[in-house]
Structure 1
Amino acid sequence: MFGWIILGLIIVAAVYAIAIYNGLVKNRQMVAEGWSGIDVQLKRRTDLIPNLMETVKGYMGHERETLEAVTNARAAATSAAAGGSPEARAKAEGQLSAALGRLIATAEAYPDLKANTTFLEFQSALQTVEDEIQMARRYYNGATRNLNVMVESFPSNLFANAFGFQKAEYFELENEADRAVPTVKFN
């Protein structure tokens, strides 16, 4: 009788350990999926920029500093995308968002540009991508939170340490100004 109780406890402990391990694996996969979603949306935004720049160049030729800032920020974001950490990527993408915001704000001074249908289409596409980035970031950060809670909580932290699970980094923007989505105005 006592042997059956011990066997039952061992089976319950084993099932509990398997559940914890599977929870850690599930949360790690959700973080990877969330990062992939962010990566896709950031790539979409990066791919939109050259076409937007070509449209704007014809109207804003003497705004070279603003155009160069966007070009440089895009290059930095592209290089950060090649294996950078979420923190490094967030910094580069924040700088790109700020540069795009300045570009859109500068475009307000050009009535012909604001009336250009191609420019308006790019503005709309950019706003859509920015919204998608925001949603993907929320998903990723939620998945990161869930994984980090399991990695740090007892008793799942024992399994996390034993099997090499580590906390994930949040995707956050450093400056409050960078957190603002570039404003797109239709007139």
Structure 2
Amino acid sequence: MKKYFFNIIISIIIFFTIIGLWSISIYNNLILLNEKIKNQWGQVENVYQRRLDLIPNLVNTVKGAASFENKTLTQIVEARSKANSIQLNSNELDQNQINKFEKTQENLNNYVGKLLVVVENYPDIKSTKNFSELQNQLEGTENRINVERNRFNEQVGNFNTYRNQFPKIIIANFFDKFKEKGYFKSQNGSNKSPLIDFSHY
């Protein structure tokens, strides 16, 4: 009888040991996938910050033009300030937070587009080497933003797919940091090349 109970106790210990090791393995994989998202989010922030850094130079380049639309410049400065004020915690990248971030960045992009359209009426500005270089850098940055956003979405997809599988979702739901992450969503016309084209303004 004692041997029977001993075998039951040993079986229970082995069972819970296996469950514990399995849970630790899932937790560690969730940590790994979550860290990849954080790292990629850092890359996304870097390219958006590069665009924010280019804008003051672009504004200053066109500021001195006679009769230039100061309202457009003011709108860009305000939109840049608002976009710069949105700082997301890499542990809270849910869909609402991503949408909020994306909305302010898109708003800034729209005002930059308006600025470049207005510049079309000022050939002296358009033809300067400084403006041309800034425009090229801005276009390159837009391309880079698109690449890093796609990479971020891939990492989010890997994480969400893993954490939502049963029974892994049970373990994931015990920890706030393993909540489902949000994606960057395509804007209208984003199926085209990400090169800047402001002709629709």
When normalised by structure 2's length, the TM-score is 0.78
| Pairs within 5 Å for 1:14-93 | 14-59=20-65, 61-81=67-87, 85-93=97-105
Letter in structure 1 aligned against 2:131: F
From 121, 125, 130, the equivalent of 1:113 is 125
Q: Which runs of 5+ in 1 are unaligned?
A: none
String of CA shifts for 1:91-121, please: whole Å, max 9, x gaps. 1000011111111122122211111000001
CA offset digits 1:21-62 (Å, max 9, x no partner) = 222111111111111111111111111111110001122643
| CA distance in 1: counterparts of 2:36 and 2:18, whole angstroms | 27
Segment of structure 1 superposing worse, 98-107 or 161-170: 161-170
Deviations 1:60-111 (A, max 9, x none): 6431222122111101101113669322111100001111111112212221
Q: Is the 8 A contact 1:55 1:118 kept in 2?
A: yes
Q: How many percent identity over aligned positions?
A: 29
The partner residue of 2:188 within 151, 168, 176 is 176
Equivalent pair of 1:70/1:96 in contact (CA under 8 Å): yes
What secondary structure sits across from 1:104 in the alignment?
helix
Q: In proportion to residue count, which structure has more helix?
A: 1
Query: CA separation in 2, counterparts of 1:141 and 1:108?
Result: 35
Structure 1 Cα separation of the partners of residues 115 and 190 of structure 2? 14
When structure 1 is superposed on structure 2, of 50-59 and 80-89 the one drifting more is 80-89
> Structure 1 184/91 Cα, relative in aligned 2: closer, same or farther at 3 Å?
closer
Tell me if the contact between 1:86 and 1:170 (Cα under 8 Å) persists in the aligned partners.
yes
2:160 corresponds to 1:148: yes
Does residue 166 (structure 1) correspond to residue 179 (structure 2)? The answer is yes
Counterpart Cα distance in 1 of 2:198 and 2:99:
26
The 1:22/1:65 distance shift into structure 2, 3 A limit, reads same
Letter aligned with residue 166 of structure 1: K
TM-score (normalised: structure 1): 0.83
User: Is there any run of 5+ residues in structure 2 with no aligned partner, and where?
Assistant: 1-6
Q: Secondary structure at the match of 1:72?
A: helix
Q: Is the 8 A contact 2:116 2:198 kept in 1?
A: yes
Q: For this pair of structures, how many residues does the alignment match?
A: 183
Q: Distance in 2 between matches of 1:74 and 1:112?
A: 25
